[in-house]
Structure 1
Amino acid sequence: MELRVLRYFLAVARTESFSAAAESLHITQPTLSRQIMELEDELGAKLLIRGKRNHKITLTEDGLLLRKRAEEIVTLSDKTTAEFHTKEDTISGDIYIGGGETDAMRLIAKAAKKLQQEHPAICFHLFSGNAEDLEDLLDKGLLDFCIVIGATDLKKYDFLPLPATDIWGLLMRKEDPLAQKKTITPQDLENLPLLVSRQALKHNELTGWNKQSIEKLHIAATYNLIYNAALMVDEGFGYALALDKLVNTTGDSTLCFRPLEPQLEAHLNVVWKKYQVFSKAAEKFLEQLQKQFS
């Protein structure tokens, strides 16, 4: 399975057309079709379905799996090539950082700004998502660093604690009677339709605070990123258990945030793979983080 053919396959998957993909790749359509057929023969699986009317290409289940794997392989290949092409006398290259939703990303931004001022040839690539997805990318070598929030298994990583904590609370509409309270207790949550982070549920981050099983609460929905959950709250669907400073609750916003009582904190760490061999750019960034947080 050649890297070149994987790029061909990704072009077809992206454009949903053999003719458009062939044009973007500067090859003939028959050549492209033959390469994809040979790839299907090699894998022993049908990857594409040709539409009868508009000739639009759709992916089979095997095709969807290959697209995910091919994107990872091509990205890692490009990342590796870029690292080897870095000039010896210049600190340049790419740094790949993943992070969940947290205001502590400001600390990462300050370190990145400082390093970019000293070495303007460095380019940063940011990936947002939940901890499980980002740790998977980190384990596969597609990220250099990952900012993890709350409970996570740090045994397989080296890490640097961030000098910041996030606070759990309840996101609700300002017109709600609970908005009159300064803090939210476990009793306040009884019978409320709640939107809860899937990561928090998986790691049981709220169980200790609630002193009982989180399943006893009325979980009406789960989310992995807060933006869409906040829209659900704004439309009156329910209340979101969330971290502070992620949703604008100032000015004309219809939403407000109230911290939990007793206070529940989420600690943050920058993690990277054990025995990681960094590019020069990533190594400089780690040095900047250690200097900034020491």
Structure 2
Amino acid sequence: MELRLLEYFWTVADAGTVSEAARRLHVTQPTVSRQIQALEDELDTQLFDREHNHLTLTEAGVFLRSRAEEILSLTQQTERAFTDRQRAVMTGNLRIGCVEADNSATMAMMLEEMTAEYPEVTFTITTGDGDIIADQLDKGLVDVAILIDPVDTAKYESLRLPRVERWGLLMSTEAFLAERDAVTPADLGGLPLITSQRPAVQTMLDEWLDGAVPPHIIGHYNLNFNVVPLVERQVGMALGIAGVTRDVDHSKLKFVPLSPALTTHCVLVWRRNRVLTPLVADYIRRFREAFN
């Protein structure tokens, strides 16, 4: 006997009418009637006497109602016990490493859900470039990390996030390229460029240039905050992604995307072949359910 049938039966018995039971259950009246008929057919017993629009329990119905109350109550208590047990497990500090990217909003969304459900959970967020965050993950200083492609995930378990990160140049509004809607490989030849020191980013840029004259790399940076003053003073232009430029002074700086478009994704990564704590496993589960 399905618990759903018992729930429908108990609700009808308590409400006295199909219409009121349907309202409480948020279903249609025919649905309620079919479920009650199915239960009576299964038990081969009439459970209600039907008089106009009102239903009264038969002797068998009275007996089943008492049993249904016991079964439904036990079910609810069991579910509550497991919920309480799970809540008791979900304590501690979740350590997250995250690069500067649009997908930091995704990280925040998952943390919002988790901390609302488990108020005793705390978190620590470490921000840096991909190499720094990956190193912290390797050393066990963070539990999970959000990194920007290209990422060598051979030693990590990973989950690709759907939000696209678009690459371009952050430049002064006074720069001659600021009038453009996009920057092409031909535009970059010999221009002073500040870029990430990650070898994977340099390789990605070389592939995008596709043999065009390369820019003049004058420096490297890992976080957007420190490169902004250099770009404002036109020391150079900074290669980066659109998401980290939202809070800059747009009267002084402009982000111009690359063309052909150069886009990558972020990935959620965690160490391979490691036993995950319930807290870390739950955080990863939320990403899987949202994006798989």
The normalised TM-score by structure 1 is 0.66
CA distance in 2, matches of 1:259, 1:87: 46
Q: Which residue of 1 is the match for residue 122 of structure 2?
A: 123
Q: Helix, strand or coil: the match of 1:236?
A: coil
Deviation at 1:252, TM superposition (A): 5.3
Matched residue SS, 2:101: coil
SS in structure 2 at match of 1:206: helix
- Which residue of the other structure, out of 264, 276, 293, is the alignment partner of 2:291? 293
Distance 1:291 1:278 in 2: 17
Measure the CA separation in 1 of the matches of 2:287 and 2:238: 32
For 1:233, what is the secondary structure of its paired residue?
A: helix
Task: Please name the residue that 2:244 is paired with.
Answer: 246
Given that 1:103 and 1:246 are in contact with CA atoms closer than 8 Å, whether structure 2 keeps it comes out as yes
Per the alignment, residue 275 of structure 1 pairs with: 273
CA contact (8 A) 1:111 1:292 kept: no
In structure 2, stretches of 5+ residues that fail to align are 1-84
**Distance of 1:213 and 1:188 partners within structure 2:** 9
1:228 aligns with 2:226: yes
The residue identity in structure 1 corresponding to 2:187 is D
Deviation at 1:213, TM superposition (A): 7.8
* RMSD of aligned alpha carbons: 2.2
User: Which residue does the alignment assign to 1:103?
Assistant: 102
| Partner SS for 1:108 | helix
> Residues 158 and 202 (structure 1 numbering): CA distance in 2 closer, same or farther, change over 3 Å?
same
User: 1:203 deviation in Å?
Assistant: 5.4
Structure 1, unaligned runs of 5 or more: 1-85
Distance 1:131 1:187 in 2: 28
| Counterpart residue number, 1:52 | none
Q: 1:223 to 1:213 in 2, by over 3 A?
A: farther
Partner of 1:134: 133
- For residues 290 and 282 of structure 1, what CA distance do their matches in structure 2 show? 13
Helix, strand or coil for the counterpart of 1:283?
A: helix
Distance, in Å, in 1 between the alignment partners of 2:190 and 2:116 is 52
User: When the two structures are aligned, how many residues end up with a matched partner?
Assistant: 208
Q: How do residues 49-128 of structure 1 correspond to structure 2 at under 5 angstroms?
A: 89-128=88-127
What is the Cα deviation at residue 135 of structure 1?
Answer: 1.3
State the structure with more CA Rg.
2
Whole-angstrom CA distance in 1 between matches of 2:86 and 2:285: 20
Amino acid at match of 2:243: K
| CA deviation vs aligned residue, 1:98-121 (integer Å, no higher than 9, x gap) | 011111110111011011100011
Residue 259 of structure 2 aligns with which residue? 261
SS of residue paired to 1:241: strand
- 2 CA distance for matches of 1:292 and 1:197? 30
How far residue 245 of structure 1 moved from its aligned partner, in angstroms, is: 2.1
Q: Can you list the C-alpha shifts for 1:25-83, whole angstroms capped at 9, x where unaligned?
A: xxxxxxxxxxxxxxxxxxxxxxxxxxxxxxxxxxxxxxxxxxxxxxxxxxxxxxxxxxx
**Cα contact 1:104–1:164 (8 A) shared by 2:** yes
Partner secondary structure for residue 231 of structure 1: helix
Q: Which residue of 2 aligns with 1:156?
A: 155
Q: 1:130 to 1:192 in 2, by over 3 A?
A: same
SS at match of 1:245: helix
Indicate the residue corresponding to 1:70 in structure 2.
Answer: none
SS of the equivalent of 1:120 reads coil
Aligned to 2:49: none
The alpha carbon displacement at 1:253 in A equals 3.2
SS in 1 for 2:88: coil
Aligned-partner Cα distance in 1 for 2:273–2:264 = 27
Deviating 4+ runs (over 6 angstroms):
none
Give the 3 Å change call, closer, same or farther, for CA 104–202 of structure 1 in structure 2. Answer: closer
The answer to whether the 8 Å contact 2:149/2:266 transfers is yes
TM-score by length of 2: 0.66
